[in-house]
Structure 1
């Protein structure tokens, strides 16, 4: 008789619901299971972690043999498949679909005081200039926003440019300390062109470019996209950048859950 049977409680119901809700066990942590059991039984199972771990492994192996290939998340104009969400697993590179839907959640969380540019924006700007992206803000007044978030994807690396509208500052964040200055200059020219197009004289001069140093840095070659999303969330919610490479496994799981729940967690 196993420990879980002895205490008349099993994580199986919780695990099954978790699997249906999130399409996989990628975002599952032992803390989730322990918290569930603690709430259900009003007791702490921390000293029985090994027993619970073995039970969870056994149950996960059974469910994992029935993959939920049709699982998807629909939110506004975004659709995430299990393949998209799986880019948050382990040390995979996150893809554009994950980046863009997370940006949508950030805008919702800030009541659209922050604007998140689609990850394809900068590529289009480089390829076709201002005229090629002018229509992207047809229904958006950038000059009513407090902060603009612009993810930059250059081949195999993500970085972030932000625009502080009130202070006329354009900030650059990179989790490897690399500086692609021309990307900041591209955004500077874009803001000036947009201000001219929308007849916003206040925003047609006085801009300053700032390279942010002393920020959290990655220690591998796979977490740049996750760092960018965490920069975005912290900056949008005015929280300090107090995370490290060691936090990335936990951050990946949290982002996966937030995407499936279609809202940022507290």
Structure 2
């Protein structure tokens, strides 16, 4: 068999993994005007400033980074993830399941292992995952309200009242998602399950601005099966997240730390 000449072999060049804070900051500063787009999520100067200036994450940042995680999950772990836009859940709450269920009929959601729902509710970001390979098990991640783990089982969300021990706020998030999944299963004549819902014990943010960052980290950890440490260097994580957005790829290991701490 003939060998392809080296000039014909497509080389995959991975983005550089900077180990110096100064180097990664220099790269970011040089690329602050870079505009990028992925699956409808657009990022530009405003988003970069938000990320590195310790500001609250907007929809574009969350949507873009979760698309990177979706790509990373497939390439590294061969895990199929469907990521719903941050704009999906508000529509589900306001328009109701009967309207929104028509939007997902073409998606083939049961061909995926995970569904990711970034949730924006009352000026706060939280995160919901659905594990479709585990009987639609739902996990709720919240950096302001998940200091301990709780589990619930729901047989029929159409008739059940607020589950004993679950806060009304969380139920108003989980119930529409449950009803949507149930409607799609019913349409496809798939088995209906008693659904396990778990409010995950997870690290709590130390301020009022990092909820979006935590959502990105929860999603990343869920894919690689690792838990965030309870004490994190948020500015370092923001730098890495900004860099990964700029280069369009997850570059750093989940538990990576720079060689020198930020003072």
Q: TM (normalized to structure 2)?
A: 0.71
Q: Provide the residue aligned with 2:196 in structure 1.
A: 208
Alpha-carbon distance in 1 for matches of 2:171, 2:234: 27
Closer, same or farther: CA 139–104 of 1 in aligned 2, 3 Å: farther
Match of 2:108 in 1: 141
Tell me the distance in 2 between the aligned counterparts of 1:148 and 1:123: 16
Of Structure 1 and Structure 2, the greater helix share is in 1
| Structure 2 residue 82 is the aligned partner of structure 1 residue 95 | no
Pairwise CA distance, 1:138: 4.2
Retained in 2: the 8 A contact 1:218–1:244? no
Name the stretch that deviates more: 96-105 or 244-253.
244-253
Q: Deviations over 1:74-113 (max 9, x none)?
A: 3343321110222212320000001111111111112260
Deviation of 1:230 after TM superposition, in Å, equals 0.3
Q: Does 1:132 align with 2:96?
A: no
Higher Cα Rg, which structure: 1
SS at 2:232 equivalent: helix
Is 1:256 the equivalent of 2:242?
yes
* Displacement after TM superposition at 1:164 (Å): 1.2
Is residue 124–residue 132 contact of structure 1 (8 Å, CA) maintained in 2?
A: no
User: Does 1:193 pair with 2:183?
Assistant: yes
Q: Deviating runs (4+, > 6 A) in structure 1? A: none
How far off is 1:142 after superposition? 1.2
**Structure with larger RCO (C-alpha < 8 A, sep 6+):** 2
Using the alignment, how far apart are the partners of 2:212 and 2:139 within structure 1?
17
> Which residue among 62, 67, 70 is the counterpart of 1:104?
67
Secondary structure in 2 aligned to 1:93? coil
Q: Distance in 2 between matches of 1:254 and 1:132?
A: 39
**SS of residue in 2 equivalent to 1:181:** helix
Cα pair distance change 1:70/1:218, threshold 3 Å: closer
Map of 1:82 onto structure 2: 45
Select between 255-264 and 104-113 the one with higher mean Cα deviation.
104-113
Measure the CA separation in 2 of the matches of 1:218 and 1:76: 29
Aligned Cα root-mean-square deviation (Å): 2.7
Structure 1: gaps of 5 or more residues: 1-20, 22-27, 37-55
Note the residue ranges of structure 2 that are not aligned, 5 or more in a row.
Answer: 1-14, 147-166, 253-263
Question: Could you state the TM-score of these two structures normalised by the residue count of structure 1?
Answer: 0.70
